[in-house]
Amino acid sequence: MILSNCEIHTALDEGRLVIDPEPSPRQLTVGGSHCPYDTHSVDLKLHSEIIIPESGKFVVDLTEAGSLSDDLARHSKKEILTEDRPYKLKRGKFILARTIEKIALPISGEPPYLAARIEGKSSRARCGLLVHFTAPTVHPGFEGTLTLEIINLGPAAFMLVPGMYIAQLIVEQVHGRINQNPSQFQDQSTPQGHSS
Amino acid sequence: MSIYYANIEQKIDSNISIPRGVMKGKGLFMGNKWLDCTISPGQFTGEFAVQGELFDNTGFSLFATKEDLKFEGKPASDKPVSGFIKITPLMQENDLQLVSLPRPTLENGRSITVRTEHIKEIC
């Protein structure tokens, strides 16, 4: 079940959903600033820090376990954007970015718990901009900023300005109880992960 | 980060069901402990690349925040430092321990099996 904007407000008030800083204003006002709450989503902003992976200098090999995070960090460059110095994302270029807002979906209290999905915005999509691909899910229990995998598939360069609304968060209610982190040890009976 | 399995009474009270593997496990104990690891700079500010060793001597790696790490000095890409990453023990069997990491590994999920000797209790 997807939460409406009113239900998102309730979840924020009850602490079942945390968005920090909390997007505002909650409602449209005459002459007021953009209301980031659509009917059943909330817009999130682009952080000033972006990561530019280097191209063609190394191979990502998942069988080389144990060094992937270090390899990825070594082969990427960080840039801090400002309004005066935005990033011109050229056609076909891929970068990593993140949201300004920290998201938390606590599972310490009583169910029902919440999950969420990060999605692009249609206005950006029309320009050929993907802000995430293959990894939209924010699991119950998550806490942190959301990493954005941004690629420009459009015909023209796209200017990334920190603070711009870059994505939207869809919040959903998880039905039923949950096994925390079940994918790794559900049905297993030994520490090695074997099933009996 | 959220605390997983920090308190079994809390877990039962909140009606969160316990995974079958954990229920069956021998030597179940709760509480956060720390796992040996090597730490180098991550991609984003405040993020670190963490590398460690599984029970079968293969490696795992993930990105983690400062709050989930203990180390001294300043990690550099050409000079990683030794340290510890916060874990939540889930199940113990002989000298092996199934633990949950604060973030998923890049290789395969959040829960890993390590050797008990690599786990430390640090106040």
Q: Which domain holds residue A164?
A: 5-25+36-56+68-174
The answer as to whether A14 is a domain residue is yes
Of A161, A90, A97, A93, give the one whose Cα is nearest residue A132. A97
The answer as to whether A195 is a domain residue is no
- CB B13, CB B100: distance < 8 Å: no
With a cut of 70, say whether residue A189 has pLDDT above it.
no
CA dihedral for B116, B117, B118, B120, sign (positive or negative): positive
Pick from A49, A65, A188: which is nearest to B58 by CB?
A: A65
CATH code of A132's domain? 2.70.40.10
Element (H, E) at A13: helix A5-14
- Judging by beta carbons within 10 Å of its beta carbon (0-12, 13-18, 19+), is residue A13 exposed, middle or buried? exposed
Q: What is the pLDDT of residues B29-60, one digit of tens each?
A: 445 699 999 999 999 999 999 999 999 999 99
Q: What is the pLDDT of residues A143-173, one digit of tens each?
A: 999 999 999 999 999 999 999 999 999 999 9
The ipTM, to two decimals, is 0.71
- Partner-chain contact B2 A70, CB within 8 Å: no
Residue pLDDT tens, chain B, 123 long: 333 333 333 333 333 333 333 333 333 444 569 999 999 999 999 999 999 999 999 999 999 999 999 999 999 999 999 999 999 998 899 999 999 899 888 887 788 999 999 999 887
C-alpha span between A178 and A161 (Å, rounded): 39
pTM: 0.75
Q: What is the pLDDT of residue A65?
A: 78
- CA B58 vs CA B51, B61, B112: distances in Å: 11, 10, 11
- CB A167, CB A119: distance < 8 Å: yes
With a cut of 90, say whether residue A134 has pLDDT above it.
no
C-alpha span between A64 and A84 (Å, rounded): 41
- Provide mean pLDDT across the span A126-135: 89
Residue B18 at interface with chain A, using a CB cutoff of 8 Å: yes
The answer as to whether A191 is a domain residue is no
The answer as to whether A181 is a domain residue is no
The answer as to whether A117 is a domain residue is yes
Domain count of the fold of chain A: 1
- CB B100, CB B34: distance < 8 Å: no
Residue A144 at interface with chain B, using a CB cutoff of 8 Å: yes
DSSP letter at A4? Answer: P
C-alpha span between A1 and A113 (Å, rounded): 11
- CB B41, CB B48: distance < 8 Å: yes
- Average pLDDT of chain A to the nearest whole number: 88
Range 37-66 of B in CB contact (< 8 A) with A: 40-45, 49-55, 58-63, 65
Chain A residues in contact with B92 by the CB 8 A cut-off are 191
Q: Which residue has the higher pLDDT, B7 or A35?
A: A35
- Partner-chain contact A98 B1, CB within 8 Å: no
Q: How many helices (H) and strands (E) does chain B have?
A: 2, 8
The answer as to whether A75 is a domain residue is yes
Number of Cβ within 10 Å of residue A14's Cβ equals 9
Based on the residue annotation, tell me whether A101 is a catalytic residue of this protein: no
Number of Cβ within 10 Å of residue B53's Cβ equals 19
- In chain A, the percentage of residues whose pLDDT exceeds 90 is 64
What's phi and psi for A43, nearest 5 deg?
A: -75, 145
Alpha-helical runs (H) found in chain B: 8-13, 20-24
Q: What is the pLDDT of residue A64?
A: 77
Q: What is the pLDDT of residue B31?
A: 52
The answer as to whether A188 is a domain residue is no
Chain B residues in contact with A188 by the CB 8 A cut-off are 20-21
Pick from A74, A104, A188: which is nearest to B21 by CB?
A: A188
The answer as to whether A196 is a domain residue is no
What's phi and psi for A166, nearest 5 deg?
A: -115, -25
Q: What is the pLDDT of residues A57-101, one digit of tens each?
A: 778 888 877 888 888 898 999 999 999 999 999 999 999 999 999
